[in-house]
Amino acid sequence: MNTEYPYKTFGFSKAERLSSSQEIDSLFRNHESFFSYPFKCIYRATPSSRPLLQVLISVGKKYHKRAIRRNTVRRRGKEAFRLNKQIFYNLYTVTPSTRKYHIQAIFIYIGKEEENFSTIEDGIKKALHTLAATVSADNNFSPSAVD
């Protein structure tokens, strides 16, 4: 395990997954959001010493009727997050002194068509940049690091 990150660099552990229905419901009731095509990111940052970032990736039935398509897009989103989450951790310094927030995020796929992996990965990267910049605003974050 790398000491720079709270979790395995290329893993997606259970602690990083947002799975509690109570937390998901409360996140939808009290949240902030932004768009990063093909995702809408709904997030909340709460002061805490719990795990730093928890993520849920969702694909609706409105445009993707078949479960196989929803699962494919969801898997691509999870893989893109798993491979690129270090972007967030590099921008949002993870040390015991600066780790103030427990961040919960839901990435909702809003594309009408099933996108390829590179498009999904670009959306996740942009969303992680934006999320780090937004949350780090309280920590004197320098936006010059964001593409």
Write a three-state SS string for the chain.
CCCCCCCCCCCCCHHHECCCHHHHHHHHHCCEEEEECCEEEEEEEEECCCCCEEEEEEECCCCCCCHHHHHHHHHHHHHHHHHHHHHHHHHCCCCCCCCCEEEEEEEEECCCCCCCHHHHHHHHHHHHHHHHHHHHHHHCCCHHHCC
The structure tokens listed for 113 are 């068509």
* Residue with more model confidence, 3 or 67: 67
Instruction: Tell me how many domains the chain contains.
Output: 1
Instruction: Name the residue range of residue 63's domain.
Output: 14-132
Q: What is the pTM of this model?
A: 0.83
Residue 25 lies in a domain: yes
Residue 102 lies in a domain: yes
pLDDT at residue 121 is higher than 90: yes
Residue 119 lies in a domain: yes
Q: What percent of the chain has pLDDT over 90?
A: 59
Residue 120 lies in a domain: yes
Report pLDDT digits (tens) over 125-145: 999 999 988 887 655 433 333
CATH of the domain at 83: 3.30.230.10
Other C-beta atoms lying within 10 Å of the C-beta of residue 3 = 6
pLDDT at residue 10 is higher than 70: yes
